[in-house]
Homo-oligomer: A and B are copies of this chain.
């Protein structure tokens, strides 16, 4: 076997360590048909290399685990087990990806993590995978869709999308792709298209785009009209189209912090006992859904149009139960 050859063997041991494996001298000696002493010497050479080039190797060091009776690599560049767990929990609760894509990503993440806590993490992953419930989607491969759209955004390339509308009719629309955002289970493309000589921005769920045609046509966006993605992300609620609004409302529920968290561009302007007056910058009609969800904890004060919308919606809700 080629791995009896020292130079391959040492690469192989290094590769295993870098993938977070526990490396046992006895086991490797068996596997490579060499002596334990030989394997130990190989490991020492890797150790020497690492310690002499520490500065650029993410502080990588070979350490010995008495529990596993084996060597392992500790390295700052690895995801720690803690970070892996957090990532997996967030990824799974996003529910955005089909099960197989989600599993593939988790397997890869696990591949570049210290395996010290293997059992705990594998138990967790197993349980989570088992109960995973992705949201429905119409496209062939959502990851490919996102990527394709992202490249068009970067190249400022005009695209035509074939899109399932909410009512399940299919439309064909030529748009200028501007940005991608993720919110509540779904990835959205923000793109603009021409309506009566003016460009308007719209959201499209990326999982409802069944086809993307890239045109040999580029666009440029005037600096003044350029979409400030971050600002937009911090202003949107529920991904409903609409316009920018400054709103003012009273909140008397148990956790004002949760409201401030939910609407990033918001602040308390008045406090009266348990009642807070909150001012916020929002984008789109989704804010109405959030305000309704809070029931009688929320009373909208401004703008007048929104007050009127709330009133008439509440009146219609009441009518349902007459």
Contacts and interface: CB of A to CB of B under 8 A. Distances in A.
Interface of A: 2-3, 7-8, 10-12, 14-15, 18-19, 45-46, 48-49, 52-53, 57-58, 77-79, 81-83, 85-87, 89-97, 101, 104-105, 108-109, 111-112, 120, 123-124, 127-128, 130-131, 133, 135-136, 143-144, 146-147, 150-151, 154, 166-167, 180-185, 187, 229-231, 233-234, 254-255, 257-258, 260-262, 264, 288-290, 292-296, 299, 307, 310-311, 313-321
Contacts of A95: 261
A97 B85 CA distance: 13
B89 A90 contact: no
A321 B311 contact: yes
Given A14-B14, A90-B91, A295 B299 contact: no
* Complex copy number for this chain: 2
Contacts of A166: 254-255, 257-258
A123 to B, nearest CB: 7
A180 B94 CA distance: 15
B131 A233 contact: yes
Contacts of A146: 82, 85-86, 89
Contacts of A310: 321
A105 B109 CA distance: 11
A188 to B, nearest CB: 10
B289 A234 contact: no
Contacts of A93: 181-183, 233
A96 to B, nearest CB: 6
Given A123-B154, A133-B233, 12 more contacts: A7-B7, A8-B53, A11-B11, A78-B108, A79-B108, A81-B147, A83-B143, A86-B143, A86-B187, A120-B150, A133-B234, A317-B317
